[in-house]
Amino acid sequence: MTNINYEYIEDYIRGLVPEKKGQLKEMRQYAKENHVPIVEEETEEFLKFLIYMRKPKKILELGTAIGYSSIVFTETSPSIEKIKTIEIREDMVEISRKNIEDYGFSDKIEVLHGDAAEVVQSVEGKFDMIFIDAAKGQYEKYFNLVLKNLAKDGIIICDNVLFKGMIANQELVERRKITIVKRLRKFLKDIEENQDYMSSIVPIGDGVLLIGRKEDE
């Protein structure tokens, strides 16, 4: 349970999601057994909807893990020409590259190894969608770094922004997570008050933040 919605609501929504098959099912099972964080099932469906409707050509992802989300994104829309995804853990880089190769998407998905905050500074080009799912305490830093890569009508999506309910409920905050919670709260407040961007928090999964530039008037 993520503490974002009532458990019965989460169970109901997840019960509507078609059961995964083949490699995606195996990847979800691997992530569960090895405590690797990947997108919640209801978040996955929401992101697939956005991708299908917006039809992005290029996606930048911060936080690859086992490559699950990159594979799902690529499978969702034939419009996707390239995904660049950054992962700090070497073991996850190896696993994700193998999963991507096994799925036949090596020509579309490129896994970059290193700290996202460092690697992204050398990433060139504009992206129609930027998905941030790396270290939660660094979201504001990531946001500022990727702005140079955001296409004019692009969208930034940040996952886990309600952080198991801790962002909204002080009683849920774990002592060892205090710094992360403070930084996430500041980031969300700063984004909401920034007049250059439109943003919305969707209370699904572990909380999803959508950000887009306002058009020049």
Q: What six digits make up the tokens of 62?
A: 């911060």
**Is residue 210 exposed (0-12), middle (13-18) or buried (19+ Cβ within 10 Å)?**
middle
Q: What is the pLDDT at residue 19?
A: 86
Closest CA to 20 of 48, 54, 59, 60: 48
User: Would you give the end-to-end CA distance of the chain in angstroms?
Assistant: 43
- Across the range 112-130, mean pLDDT stands at 97
Residue 62 has pLDDT above 70, yes or no: yes
pLDDT band at 13 (very low <50, low <70, confident <90, very high): confident
Instruction: Provide CB contacts within 8 A for 129, sequence distance 6+.
Output: 50, 51, 54, 56, 58, 59, 60, 154, 155, 156, 157
pLDDT band at 82 (very low <50, low <70, confident <90, very high): very high
pLDDT band at 6 (very low <50, low <70, confident <90, very high): confident
pLDDT band at 203 (very low <50, low <70, confident <90, very high): very high
Its CATH class, for the domain covering 7-212, is: alpha beta
CA distance 76 to 53: 10
Q: Would you put residue 29 in left (φ > 0), alpha (ψ -120 to 50) or beta?
A: alpha
Q: How many helices (H) and strands (E) does the chain have?
A: 8, 7
Residue 120 has pLDDT above 90, yes or no: yes
- Across the range 120-143, mean pLDDT stands at 97
Percent of the chain with pLDDT over 90: 89
Q: Give 117 or 7, the one with higher predicted confidence.
A: 117
Q: Give 168 or 1, the one with higher predicted confidence.
A: 168
Residue 20 has pLDDT above 70, yes or no: yes
Q: What is the pLDDT at residue 72?
A: 97
CA distance 135 to 62: 9
Q: What is the pLDDT at residue 180?
A: 96
pLDDT band at 216 (very low <50, low <70, confident <90, very high): low
Average pLDDT, the chain: 95
CA distance 212 to 56: 14
Q: What is the pLDDT at residue 4?
A: 81
Residue type, 22: G
Q: Where are the domains of the chain?
A: 7-212
Q: What is the pLDDT at residue 215?
A: 81
Residue 217 has pLDDT above 60, yes or no: no
Q: What is the pLDDT at residue 150?
A: 98
- Across the range 106-112, mean pLDDT stands at 98
150 and 127 in contact (C-beta within 8 Å)? yes
